[in-house]
Amino acid sequence: MRDPDGLIARAGVRGDPNRDQHFLVDDRVLNRIPTYLDDGEARRASDRASGEPPRAAEIDADTSHLLEIGGGTGALTDRLLEIADEVTVVERDRDLAAFLREEFADEIADERLTVIEGDALEVDLPDFSASVSNLPYGVSSEIAFRLLPEKRPLVLMFQQEFAERMVAEPGTSEYGRLSVSTQHYAEPELVESIPKEAFSPPPAVQSAVVRLIPREPEYTVDDEEFFLRFVKAMFTQRRKTIRNAIRNTAHITSLGAPDAVVEAADDDLLQKRADAMTPAEFAELARLATEVGQPEAN
């Protein structure tokens, strides 16, 4: 496999923190990341990395067509080509995209690799089977929530704090809108923390790899857009009770009759705060809100 430092040298580039460019150069980490698509391999890799096994999960992802967002100089791309039938890389940096086309010319000629130059938030994505990506941290949230509705297995790298919020449970300080929105689409699992020294140049914060297994929620949501907007609204008032949050956020939820929702809702739920509410409880209230709160059409 290609040496990550050699790739950087051949590309003639340096990572630029001002442009959110931090190249992953630790071979051991690079070799582990693709294994998180397979639960058995992931458990063994996590054991080696941290000494603690990940939570039990069942996944053996389809690697026929892997999507990578932010290919950089191709160190992870090279590893993905080892396990996939086909890889598509989206890279917004023109010079790096040109380097990838040159460095992986044989793989492109064999139709095993496609390089898309452009912004991952704007380009048309292929019909991928799974995604493994070291995301640009500045837009990691936006990219993650473009990928999550596709309901494909994802192995994504984020800032550690962001990753911890994705996997947080109700009643914890990290639990918030991000936790609920993520867990609406998938079962997230923080499988490995990555030290700053694994990157060139080192970022200011530690990173973490999150595996996201797509799943249908254990609750029903009639209007997904309203549900997510309702969750967002409740967490803008996280220090308030849900009773007061519903009344104070009609400008966000577009509810015409927030008092009607309060009158119809279960008092036990109304006394909670947002950070104690499960996704299912948010769904229950959002469903009630659409029934009696007269939400305005957007």
pLDDT of the residue at 54: 41
Q: Are 242 and 234 in contact (CB under 8 A)?
A: yes
Residue 18, marked binder = no
Q: Are 30 and 75 in contact (CB under 8 A)?
A: yes
pLDDT of the residue at 19: 73
Fold of 224-292: Helicase, Ruva Protein; domain 3 (1.10.8)
pLDDT of the residue at 44: 53
Query: What is the b/e burial string over 188-208, where b = at least 16 CB atoms within 10 angstroms of the residue's CB?
Result: bbbbbebeeebbbeebeebbb
Q: Which residues touch 274 (CB under 8 Å, ≥6 apart)?
A: 176, 234, 235, 237, 238, 242, 245
Superfamily the domain 4-214 falls into: Vaccinia Virus protein VP39 (3.40.50.150)
Domain map (residue ranges) of the chain: 4-214, 224-292
Residue 248, marked binder = no
Residue 184, marked binder = no
Residue 251, marked binder = no
Residue 119, marked binder = yes
pLDDT of the residue at 297: 57
Spell out, as residue ranges, where the chain has pLDDT lower than 70. Answer: 39-59, 295-298
Nearest to 287 by CA among 230, 245, 247, 216: 230
Residue 91, marked binder = yes
